[in-house]
């Protein structure tokens, strides 16, 4: 049996176990796993290194306009390159619908942005802001059939939030067609009420961003989103959970057997709202939604990462530069509600999670693999990715677990002019990243051609359709009619 590539002598890690051995790769797939595999057109020496499934970045905003019309700094080239340097073999950015736009047009637009540029395999989650009848009946089912089997909706922002009624309609479509609804859960009216009070008092500096979006606004919305999904019997994925209260609600729903999934992000583990109070307008770099919290929150979120409340730790890479093209598009001293929401982190996500998680003893190596790759592949239906198994795509990241580096903006390889993780000393770095058996990054150098990445058609979300609805929706309760849509 001849192999294109043999990775030999590394410690191969899965969520369940790790062992020293070799991987034989042929035609982009893992073809053999064994203690020793001779030959191979190319041999990669991985001795003393960890051999992990390549990271899957499941939450990133790339070449995306915000609802206010502001374009992210990273396109599919710089965004995928930055992801690759951070140990990722594939990613799933958002394809956002503007109000009035058809979903078919959204997908065509993002195909035009991604296909010529991405160095990594990619898919999209849709963002749905305008669920008109034809979107629900035709356009979304058509997108699901093309393998785009997840989408995000908002419970906040006037231009984005769907209201409870709109959420129910869209959850029902997801259940019927095998898709997963992702939700940004914050109570819109609580935030608007806080904004009005802060504005009336003249409190508009960046630090008030965190005050304006209190933890209770997230917890209330997560609780409501879970209730809405439960009525319909649909699966749910809560994005960027930032509070212990919210994580507890997710943990409780999972303990009841509900198909509720969740992620948190490195910024909620690493930073606090004190960063919003840095001198001058420096705090604008740390404006993201939900906002940064406090140190007690960090400890609680790490515990939830360890105990399985979170399926994944995602970057929520939302790159707006610290200049007039990004954070200050509305002026150099804009009030916090006019400053773009989001921070970069697609390259720092996995080194941060490895160093502060695995090296610091907060999570195991197996949990790192689950949180960085394996769970996202399963939940989002990438059926050949996220594992080192025969037949799977050869998406592999080789890590040096002992190298220590300091994070700098220049090393992120993105289009940004800052990183919120600047100056952190992290131990454990990816040194060689493969996607479908091809080397993408090696020894600190990019090896991939622009546009080599392929679209990944994802499998349907299979957990939701079996979920029970509430008894009142059960036709057996009998009102003489099946009221299920
Ligand atoms: N939600 C995100 O997921 N990212 C950036 C801003 C936001 O509200
Ligand atoms: Zn060997
Ligand atoms: Zn969001
Ligand atoms: Zn996001």
Average pLDDT over residues 360-364: 98
Three-state DSSP class for residue 340: coil
pLDDT in tens, 211-233: 999 999 999 999 999 999 999 98
Rounded Cα gap, residues 73 and 357, in angstroms? 29
Do 27 and 381 meet the contact criterion of CB atoms below 8 Å apart?
Answer: no
The ligand placed nearest to the CA atom of residue 319 is 1
pLDDT at 484: 65
- Residue 82 CB less than 6 A away from ligand 1: no
Instruction: Report which protein residue has its CA nearest ligand 1's atom 8.
Output: 289
Take residue 314 and report the two structure tokens written for it.
Answer: 């995602």
Structure confidence at residue 459 as a pLDDT band (50, 70, 90): very high
What is the ipTM for the molecules in this complex? 0.92
For 217, residues 6+ apart whose C-beta sits below 8 A from its C-beta are 186, 187, 190, 191
66 CA from centroid of ligand 1 (Å): 9
In terms of residues, how long is the chain?
A: 485
| Closest atom of ligand 1 to CA, residue 156 | 8
Take residue 46 and report the two structure tokens written for it.
Answer: 């991985």
Do 79 and 317 meet the contact criterion of CB atoms below 8 Å apart?
Answer: yes
pLDDT in tens, 399-443: 999 999 999 999 999 999 999 999 999 999 999 999 999 999 999
pLDDT at 68: 84
Rounded Cα gap, residues 150 and 170, in angstroms? 11
Q: For residue 331, how far is the Cα from the chain centroid?
A: 30
Q: Which CA distances in Å does 465 have to 176, 254, 258? A: 7, 16, 11
222 CA from centroid of ligand 2 (Å): 49
pLDDT at 470: 78
Torsion region of 349: left, alpha or beta (phi above 0 gives left; psi -120 to 50 gives alpha): alpha
88 CA from centroid of ligand 1 (Å): 21
> H-helix or E-strand containing 426?
strand 425-435
> Ligand 1: which of 125, 182, 240, 268 to mutate, most ligand atoms within 8 Å of CB?
240
Q: Outline which parts of the chain fall under CATH 3.20.20.140.
A: 54-379
pTM exceeds 0.80 for this model: yes
Rounded Cα gap, residues 253 and 222, in angstroms? 11
- Residue 318 CB less than 6 A away from ligand 1: yes
Instruction: Report which protein residue has its CA nearest ligand 1's atom 7.
Output: 289
Query: Domain 54-379 belongs to what topology?
Result: TIM Barrel (3.20.20)
Instruction: Report which protein residue has its CA nearest ligand 1's atom 3.
Output: 316
> Ligand 1: which of 188, 287, 341 to mutate, most ligand atoms within 8 Å of CB?
341
Pick one of 2.30.40.10, 2.40.30.10, 2.30.30.60, 1.25.40.80 as the CATH number of 5-52+386-446: 2.30.40.10
Q: Which CA distances in Å does 253 have to 182, 219, 246, 259, 457? A: 16, 13, 11, 8, 29
- Core vs surface per residue 209-248: b (16+ CB within 10 A) or e: bbbbbbbebbbbbbbbbbebbbbbbbbbbbbbbbbbbbbe
pLDDT in tens, 75-96: 999 999 999 999 999 999 999 9
Do 192 and 131 meet the contact criterion of CB atoms below 8 Å apart?
Answer: no
pLDDT at 467: 63
Q: Outline which parts of the chain fall under CATH 2.30.40.10.
A: 5-52+386-446
342 CA from centroid of ligand 3 (Å): 9
Asked if the model's pLDDT at residue 136 lies above 50, the reply is yes
């Amino acid at each position: 049996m001849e192999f294109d590539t043999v990775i030999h002598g590394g410690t191969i890690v899965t969520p369940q176990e790790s062992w020293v051995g070799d991987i034989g790769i042929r035609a982009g797939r893992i073809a053999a796993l064994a203690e020793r595999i001779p030959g191979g057109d190319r041999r990669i020496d991985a001795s003393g290194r960890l051999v992990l499934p390549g990271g899957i970045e499941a939450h990133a905003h790339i070449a995306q306009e915000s609802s206010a019309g502001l374009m992210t700094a990273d396109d599919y080239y710089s965004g995928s390159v930055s992801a690759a340097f951070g140990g990722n073999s594939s990613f799933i950015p958002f394809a956002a619908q503007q109000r009035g736009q058809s979903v078919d047009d959204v997908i065509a637009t993002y195909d035009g942005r991604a296909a010529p540029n991405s160095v990594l395999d990619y898919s999209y989650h849709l963002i749905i802001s305008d669920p008109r009848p034809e979107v629900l009946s035709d356009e979304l089912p058509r997108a699901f059939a093309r393998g785009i089997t997840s989408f995000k909706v908002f419970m906040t922002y006037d231009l984005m939030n769907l209201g409870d009624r709109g959420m129910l309609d869209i959850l029902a479509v997801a259940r019927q067609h095998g898709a997963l609804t992702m939700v940004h859960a914050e109570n819109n009216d609580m935030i608007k009420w806080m904004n009005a009070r802060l504005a009336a008092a003249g409190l508009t500096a960046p630090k008030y961003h965190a005050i304006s979006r209190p933890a209770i606004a997230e917890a209330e919305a997560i609780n409501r989103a879970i209730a809405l999904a439960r009525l319909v019997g649909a699966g749910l994925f809560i994005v960027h959970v930032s509070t212990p209260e919210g994580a507890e609600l997710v943990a409780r729903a999972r303990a009841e057997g509900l198909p509720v999934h969740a992620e948190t992000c490195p910024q909620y583990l690493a930073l606090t709202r004190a960063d919003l109070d840095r001198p001058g307008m420096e705090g604008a770099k740390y404006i993201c939604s939900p906002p940064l919290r406090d140190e007690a929150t960090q400890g609680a979120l790490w515990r939830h990462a360890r105990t399985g409340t979170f399926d994944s730790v995602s970057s929520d890479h939302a790159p707006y530069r610290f200049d007039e093209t990004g954070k200050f598009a509305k002026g150099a001293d804009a009030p916090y509600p006019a400053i773009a929401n989001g921070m970069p982190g697609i390259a720092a996500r996995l080194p941060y999670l490895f160093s502060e998680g695995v090296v610091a003893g907060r999570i195991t190596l197996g949990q790192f693999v689950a949180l960085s790759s394996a769970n996202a592949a399963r939940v989002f239906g990438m059926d050949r990715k996220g594992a080192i198994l025969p037949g799977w795509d050869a998406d592999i990241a080789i890590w040096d677990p002992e190298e220590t580096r300091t994070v700098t903006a220049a090393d992120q390889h993105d289009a940004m002019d800052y990183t919120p993780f600047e100056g952190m000393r992290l131990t454990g770095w990816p040194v060689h990243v493969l996607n479908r058996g091809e080397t993408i990054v090696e020894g600190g150098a990019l090896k991939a051609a622009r546009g080599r990445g392929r679209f990944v058609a994802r499998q349907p979300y299979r957990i939701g359709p079996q979920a029970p609805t509430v008894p009142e929706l059960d036709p057996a309760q009998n009102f003489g009619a099946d009221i299920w849509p």
